[in-house]
């Protein structure tokens, strides 16, 4: 969680080192997030364009923020386990949908979470990227032991519209908008999750970087 000063410092350093322009952080464990915290944690360019899902006590919590130098966000519906925004690219005027998720732990809650994601599909744009910590697996090989709920795997794979890219899913239309998108795992010393760095080059060759953290 981001109550830990060393983790805040690690996030701040990683953003600086990778020149990230979109940030999605799961499990912040923060109930209150304001523009002053965003400015201190992420940088001044993120303080006017961010959305927050508060933690429930000390559990969960998410931050989604974009650099005002490159993007604006609008239409920010919050669900129990997700934040969805419409991203507008300043240079091209292109719009697309971004959803950041932090999935629940219990099996029954996971089924409700899958239904929550299905309800998003009719309201997001066809250019849609969905990312985060799903707490779900798409196939048995994704898990390193035999304790597998195959019903949940089936429910998770029911929607054929999305194509999996590691821990990031995108629609075909988003993939066509960013055909050269590249997903990388970034080493970190302060978390058992590897932060994912997603970089996409637009057709006009203006580069925009997308990255989400799991701490």
Alpha-carbon distance of 118 to 115, in angstroms, equals: 5
Question: Among 115-124, 150-159, 161-170, which is the least confidently predicted range?
Answer: 150-159
CB 98 within 8 A of CB 77: no
Whether the pLDDT of residue 112 is over 60: the answer is yes
H helix or E strand, kind and range, residue 172:
helix 172-177
Q: Which residue has the higher pLDDT, 135 or 124?
A: 124
Alpha-carbon distance of 134 to 102, in angstroms, equals: 6
Average pLDDT, the chain: 81
CB 81 within 8 A of CB 103: yes
Q: Which residue has the higher pLDDT, 165 or 94?
A: 94
Domains of the chain in sequence order: 5-214 (3.60.10.10)
Over the stretch 6-59, which tens digit does the pLDDT of each residue have? 888 988 998 888 889 999 999 899 999 999 999 999 999 999 999 999 998 888
Alpha-carbon distance of 52 to 139, in angstroms, equals: 31
Whether the pLDDT of residue 149 is over 70: the answer is no
Q: Which residue has the higher pLDDT, 63 or 59?
A: 63
Output the furthest CA–CA distance in the chain (Å, rounded): 48
Average pLDDT over residues 65-87: 94
What are the helix and strand counts (H, E) for the chain?
Answer: 5, 12
Average pLDDT over residues 50-74: 93
Whether the pLDDT of residue 94 is over 50: the answer is yes
CB 23 within 8 A of CB 214: no
Whether the pLDDT of residue 213 is over 50: the answer is no
Alpha-carbon distance of 188 to 186, in angstroms, equals: 7
């Amino acid at each position: 969680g981001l109550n830990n000063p060393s983790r805040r410092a690690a996030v701040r350093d990683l953003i600086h080192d990778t020149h990230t322009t979109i940030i999605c952080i799961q499990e912040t464990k923060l109930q209150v997030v304001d523009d002053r915290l965003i400015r201190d944690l992420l940088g001044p360019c993120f303080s006017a364009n961010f959305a927050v899902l508060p933690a429930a006590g000390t559990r969960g919590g998410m931050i989604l923020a974009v650099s005002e130098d490159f993007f604006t966000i609008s239409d920010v519906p919050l669900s129990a386990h997700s934040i969805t925004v419409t991203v507008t690219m300043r240079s091209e005027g292109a719009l697309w949908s971004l959803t950041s998720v932090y999935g629940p732990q219990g099996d029954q809650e996971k089924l409700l979470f899958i239904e929550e994601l299905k309800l998003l599909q009719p309201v997001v744009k066809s250019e849609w990227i969905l990312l985060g910590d799903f707490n779900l697996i798409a196939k048995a090989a994704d898990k390193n032991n035999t304790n597998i709920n195959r019903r949940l795997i089936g429910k998770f794979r029911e929607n054929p519209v999305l194509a999996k890219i590691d821990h990031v899913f995108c629609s075909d239309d988003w993939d066509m908008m960013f055909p050269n998108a590249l997903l990388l795992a970034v080493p970190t010393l302060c978390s058992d999750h590897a932060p994912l760095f997603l970089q996409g080059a637009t057709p006009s060759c203006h580069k925009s970087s997308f990255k989400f953290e799991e701490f």
